[in-house]
Structure 1
Amino acid sequence: MLVHDTVGTGRSQQDVDRIRLSLQARYDELSAEYERAVLDSQVLRLVEVGDTAGDDQADSGTKTAERDTAQSLLRTILDRRAQFEHALARLADGTYGNCEGCAEPIPVERLEIFPSATSCVACKLTRERRAA
């Protein structure tokens, strides 16, 4: 369980430490995944540069699609990593576990599934409806 007590004055230091370790571990995993993806992307570019002889439109299209997919993966990993970095900052300033929209506690079950959540379900749904 990531969050033991989201009601009242807060969490014990033991709970905060456990949450921090969990968030930091996921942040570190994402950082390592990003580094691997960057290396894979660099290898892909090197292969592209050295292997363009005889390329037709289909080959060029395939290479472009692979490059776009690699870039999309990098952006996705960076976005997820930024979410965990934000969660760690919120934990440090004492706002982790409270909705950024309404300041109410985010249900423990939501934080267990999505530890970097910054909003309760109601605020998230409202924001998604506005965006649609």
Structure 2
Amino acid sequence: MAPKAAPAKKAVPVTKAAPVKRAAVATKAAPAKKAVPVTKAAPARTVAKATSVRAATSPRAGRSTVGSVKKAATASDPAPLTGGDAWSVGELAGVRAELEVQATALRGEIVDAEAQDAALKRDSGGEGTGDEADAGSKTFEREHEMSLANNSRDLLMQVERALSRLDGATYGRCENCGKPIPKARLQALPAATMCMACKRREERR
């Protein structure tokens, strides 16, 4: 019965690796080559454009900030006086005329005081002898004339400041705090450049 082993030879064709060849074909990475174009950085270019647009618009933002700073600077300018503190064109013209008269008078007082002081100085220097009472009297007169001249100079400076504030359209506001000076005070003292509160603080110093 041993010769019946012929069917075992039929098992040899099972070794055909046809399915293996199909697997080899499956290993071809042709689809992988198609995936390579996905690496195109087209979105990156659009991002760069967006950043350049932002960079280009940044100077405009800077200009707008400069404009806002200029607006803030102009907003700090004093507003015109209103209500009872406001001055008409005719009233300001009258104030200017009065201040100019005061300035002329004060300049004359300064010239007179300086002339008197020079005369007293000559008299005191020309006398070789004299009693002490006379010398003391002349010294007192000289000091008095110098005091008058200094006082007139201070008043003249104040009048000239008031005139300059008229030229600068800031007349009627305190030069220290910027608040309106009451009109009644300016009508009594046209050369006043400070409100009462600031003037008192200055005098206490």
1:54 offset after TM fit, Å? 2.7
Letter in 2 for 1:68: E
Q: How does 1:1-132 map to 2 (within 5 A)?
A: 6-7=81-82, 11-50=87-126, 52-129=127-204, 131=205
CA-based RMSD: 2.3
Shift of 1:95: 1.2
Does the 8 A contact of 1:6 with 1:108 survive in 2? no
Q: 1:33 to 1:6 in 2, by over 3 A?
A: farther
Q: Which sits farther off after the overlay, 71-80 or 114-123?
A: 114-123
Q: Deviations over 1:95-132 (max 9, x none)?
A: 11101222111111111222111111122223334x1x
> Is contact 1:111–1:117 with CA below 8 Å preserved after alignment?
yes
Segments of 5+ residues of structure 2 without an aligned counterpart are 1-79
**Distance in structure 2 (CA, Å) of the matches to 1:128 and 1:23:** 23
Calculate the TM-score normalised by the size of structure 1.
Answer: 0.80
Asked which structure has the greater RCO (Cα within 8 Å, sep 6+), the reply is 1
Deviation at 1:14, TM superposition (A): 2.5
Q: Quote how far apart the aligned CAs of 1:6 are.
A: 4.5
Paired positions, count:
125
CA distance in 2, matches of 1:60, 1:67: 11
For residues 156 and 201 of structure 2, the distance between their equivalents in structure 1, rounded to whole angstroms, comes to: 25
| Change over 3 Å in CA distance of 1:91–1:64 after alignment to 2 | same
**1:97–1:106: 8 Å Cα contact kept in structure 2?**
yes
Name the aligned partner's letter for residue 31 of structure 1: R
Residues in 2 aligned to 1:77 and 1:16: alpha-carbon distance in whole angstroms: 24
% identical aligned pairs: 37
TM-score, normalization: structure 2? 0.54
Return 107-116 or 7-16, whichever deviates more.
Answer: 7-16
**Does the CA-based 8 Å contact 1:26-1:84 persist in structure 2?**
yes
Where does structure 1 lack aligned partners over 5 or more consecutive residues?
A: none
